[in-house]
Structure 1
Amino acid sequence: MAAMNRSYVIILANGLNGLGAVRSAAHAGLKTYTLLTAQSDLSAYSRFSQYRFLLPLNPTVNDIRPILDQLNNNEGGPGVLLACSDFAAELLGKLKKEGYSNQHLIVPTTETTEVLNDKKLECQYMEQGGITLPKTFYNLEEDVPETFPLIIKPRTFREYKVLGAKNVIIHSLAELDEFKRSFHAHLDQFIAQDVIQGGDDNLWVCNVTFDQNQELSACFVFKRLGTMPSHYGVTSLAISQNNQALREECAKIGKALNYTGPAMIEFKKDQYSDTYYYIETNPRLGMCNWFDTRCGINNILACTQAAYGNRVEFAPQRNNFVYWNFFGDLIARLEDRENLLAIVFRYIALLRRRRIGALLYWKDPQPALRYAKASITDIAQRVGRKLRERFG
């Protein structure tokens, strides 16, 4: 324990991912430094984010290296760098490729990060490794899918701006032709996949850590119950449930990728065949890492121990706990035109379970208050627009 008291982490924070990581680090008793690209980031409002550095909006390794060197000198040794976004994961990969050693880099190789941050390369790699994927189309200029719906995905996070969203659902050949006309100059920046049949509760997520021997040292499994946007977005409602088959699949993926560090691995279970299809691996901390911690699996602690070459043992995860981003989930369901009464009954049913708020934490209330204010303003504006459309 004395060794852990001298440990510290440096979190490249981003939104809910970063806030959860800061809280999880504090929960583990780790001294934490937070690197932010915006003063308005949720982590900036956390009482646990006491030591903060503001970076440029799109930082480079040259922007963060002096800070890391300074912290090494101040603390008398290296801490552990943790990424909370795809962009931050790329930065850490570049540092690792340069041989940077003033801080511990518990991250996959640059080559692995580049593969996982490009959906085309990732899916091709997984197919070659024998991982079960939805049917995938890599050449939208020439490929002619026979079944719908399809999900169109940008190859990297940089193409989100091109598409204007994280993905687009195509329901017919006519819609696909229209998409091709609209994005004819960018078709090589997307892939398409069959949509696996099943509701949100067929979506599974594993937040994991692989140690420096590529062994699965921590794994937290949950089933999604809601996403924002609905059906094809990030987690807004979930329940912790162990799944040994997915644990084994994660261990297999880690070995195939020669992977070290934190990752978020997603699957979807086909409602007809009970087959689990691989969706993606994000080479960074998962967005719901605070959920992991509250259910007994602290992936931030696991990463820190792995970086220092120590083993970490967790008790079995606590199951049937509910993760709830109330405002995010409510907005997503309203946008999806879900029946209001059904939403109310769903939420009432959740009250009988132990709930973990995505933001609400009584020891750290300020981020939730800020998020709630922004969400209420957003809902009011949406309602106002609907009323103006309806009544002129």
Structure 2
Amino acid sequence: MPSPYVIILANGLNGLGAIRSAAQAGLKAYTLITKRSDLSTYSRFSEVTFLVPPNPSLADLRPILDRLFIRENGPGVLLACSDNSAELLGELKNEGYSKHHLIVPSMETTRILNDKKLECRAMEQGGIALPKTYYQLSVNDPESFPLIIKPRTFRDYQILGAKNVILYTQTELDEFRQRFRGQVERFIGQEVIQGADDNLWVCNVTFNLQKEMSACFLFQRLGTMPSHYGVTSLAISRENMELREECEKIGKALNYCGPAMIEFKKDPVSGRYLYIETNPRLGMCNWFDTRCGINNILACTRVAYGQEVAFGPQTNNVVYWNFFGDLIARLEDRENIFSILFLYLRLLFRRRIGALFYWRDPIPACKYSWDAIKNIFRRTNKKLRRRFS
């Protein structure tokens, strides 16, 4: 029997974590990247790294996948680390591709989850609690502010120039409508759930071929980059049975198969957990999952090869820390330097998992840290020039 292996369509921290998780599970990992500077390029655990175009098509992937099938004398497991690569794997599944294992949702499910308007409506129909959502911003006036504006798809980020934007008044909404006249329907609006970053929760899960949840790792965010509305920069692993049950409901509502990253925020007023989004791919913090005992890369592989998926309970009260990312986000948010220092000193008394540093694979952390330091100096110099010009 050929040995199990994975083929990772890598992207930044997601891909780096997947490669390391595969290595920890004893799996051979092949990596596809869209730029030479990707963090995965610097990992010692990738068997072979292939460079594909920035927006690869199936025609770009197939020759590589064929070579790997021949090289390994059998199929591997394809894993997506970005929204774009998730769509590619969905297309392969839709075509009936069978040379490699595709433990991924259907193309229709991926299309729904990569469109915020379709996603939120599907969740409402499935009985999942959401923040108040406005689907037609050209005519819908919100009941209250602030309002978070989200591009419907990852392709629409370029229209907005950001992952989201916060509007605080009706005047700002009117200005937004004027600025994006003719494109307003490419966005949705949602009420901003009040509360600090520690009201944010993430569930990294794997659903098997029977659409049952095979693995689940939960953590509570403590910081994001950028602050409040970005990706995880600081977190702590915590069990939450209520959210496990919500994830199972979401899986059933979507008839979901494969890995997913599901986000919630707790409303401090009602005490309810409100759904934020589902990413139909591996979560950015999948290395955190693995270090706390729930290896979602291994779970996907076992599902693909028809093996039992069984993990012990997750290790709780472990801290995930992207030091430079978290520090920059807090400084940009004008957080008091002494409160940041006090927070970081308290974290030193807990077990910590670095977002990047791993003593057996140190080069990616060195690369990321050097880029972060250059970024800090560049921003500092820019501010100084503005001040003295």
TM-score, normalised via structure 2 length = 0.99
Q: Does 1:299 align with 2:296?
A: yes
- Counterpart of 2:251, as a letter, is G
Which residue, 135, 160, 165 being the options, matches 2:162? 165
The residue that corresponds to 1:359 in the other structure is: 356
Q: Matched residues in 2 for 1:389 and 1:53: separation?
A: 43
1:208 aligns with 2:205: yes
Write the letter of the residue equivalent to 2:360: K
Q: Which structure 2 residues correspond to residues 1-392 of structure 1 after superposition, within 5 A?
A: 6-392=3-389
Q: Which one-letter code corresponds to 1:274 in the other structure?
A: G
Confirm or deny: 8 A CA contact 2:28 2:47 kept in the other structure: no
AA aligned opposite 1:34 = T
Distance 1:351 1:175 in 2: 42
The structural deviation recorded for 1:50 is 2.9
1:136 is displaced (CA, Å) by 0.3
Match of 2:6, SS state, is strand
Deviations 1:167-210 (A, max 9, x none): 00011101111111111121010000001111100000000000
SS at match of 2:307: coil
Aligned equivalents of 2:40 and 2:203: distance in 1? 23
Kindly provide the CA deviation profile for residues 127-156 of structure 1, in whole angstroms up to 9, marking residues without a partner as x. Answer: 011110000000011001120011000000
Structure 1: state its 5+ residue gaps. none
Question: How far does the alpha carbon of each residue in 1:306-331 deviate from its partner, in whole angstroms, 9 at most, with x for none?
Answer: 11111111110000000000000011
Letter of the 1:127 counterpart: E
The one-letter code of the counterpart of 2:43 is S
| 8 Å CA contact retained: 2:196, 2:228 | yes
The secondary structure found in structure 2 opposite 1:130 is coil
What displacement does 1:388 show? 2.1
Aligned-pair CA distance for 1:43: 0.2
SS in 2 for 1:368: helix
Unpaired stretches in structure 2, ≥5 consecutive residues? none
Alpha-carbon RMSD across the aligned residues, in angstroms, is 0.8
1:32-73 residue CA offsets vs partner (Å, 9 max, x unmatched): 100111111000000101311110111001110111111111
| Distance (Å, rounded) in 2 between the aligned partners of 1:97 and 1:222 | 33
Letter of the structure 1 residue corresponding to residue 110 of structure 2 = T
Name the SS for the 1:356 alignment partner. Answer: strand
Cα separation, 1, equivalents of 2:253 and 2:34: 33
Q: Percent identity?
A: 70
Partner AA of 1:97 in structure 2: N
Question: Whole-Å Cα distance in 2 between the matches of residues 168 and 194 of structure 1?
Answer: 12
Letter in 1 for 2:124: E
* Residue-by-residue CA offset, 1:275-307 (whole Å, 9 max, x unaligned): 000000000000000000000000000000011
1:76 to partner: Cα distance: 1.2
Which amino acid counterpart does residue 130 of structure 2 have in structure 1?
Answer: L
The code of the aligned residue for 2:188 comes to I
Amino acid at match of 1:242: E
CA distance in 1, matches of 2:45, 2:54: 23
> 1:202-249: per-residue Cα shift (whole Å, max 9, x none)?
000000000000110000000000000000000000000000000010
> Deviation at 1:384?
1.2
Distance in 2 (CA, whole Å) between partners of 1:300 and 1:353 is 26
- SS at structure 2 position matched to 1:161: helix
Deviation of 1:271 after TM superposition, in Å, equals 1.0
Distance in 2 (CA, whole Å) between partners of 1:44 and 1:223 is 30
